[in-house]
Amino acid sequence: KAGVTQTPRYLIKTRGQQVTLSCSPISGHRSVSWYQQTPGQGLQFLFEYFSETQRNKGNFPGRFSGRQFSNSRSEMNVSTLELGDSALYLCASSAGTGGVGELFFGEGSRLTVL
């Protein structure tokens, strides 16, 4: 069974630009969650989508948004990029909601903002 796929794997942007990251979950998984990983802050929850619905959002500004499609694929968008947005963005899928069972992570999208 194919794992979680994230694209692109690496990208470089400049301040003020926007970026869209994509995540394809494991087949049959309805939940997709996004995490930001940085050396200083570890893994921080961005948001989770379950059956196309986002419940709550982590402590991130409105520049961070996302959506989930009917086939469970998800995208996240960051607008007006800042230097501090440089990070590894990890997507994870799970069969149920992400807080009660195993998360299967993708390899991540490494964003560098110059």
Partner 1 sequence: GENVEQHPSTLSVQEGDSAVIKCTYSDSASNYFPWYKQELGKRPQLIIDIRSNVGEKKDQRIAVTLNKTAKHFSLHITETQPEDSAVYFCAAPRLYSGGGADGLTFGKGTHLIIQP
Piece in contact with partner 1 (CB under 8 A), picked from 8-16, 19-27, 43-51, 67-75? 43-51
As to burial, measured by CB atoms within 10 angstroms (0-12 exposed, 13-18 middle, 19+ buried), residue 56 is exposed
Q: With residue 74 as reference, give the H or E element that holds it.
A: strand 74-78
Rule CB under 8 A: choose which of 23, 24, 25, 33 binds partner 1.
33
Which residues ranging from 2 to 21 are in contact with partner 1 (CB under 8 A)?
A: none
Task: Give the total of residues touching partner 1 (CB under 8 A).
Answer: 25
Helix (H, G, I), strand (E, B) or coil at 84: helix
Single residue of 56, 70, 71, 84 touching partner 1 by CB under 8 A: 56
CB of 78 to partner 1, least distance (A): 18
Sequence-distant (≥ 6) Cβ neighbours of residue 61 within 8 angstroms:
none
Q: Does 108 engage in binding with partner 1 (CB under 8 A)?
A: yes
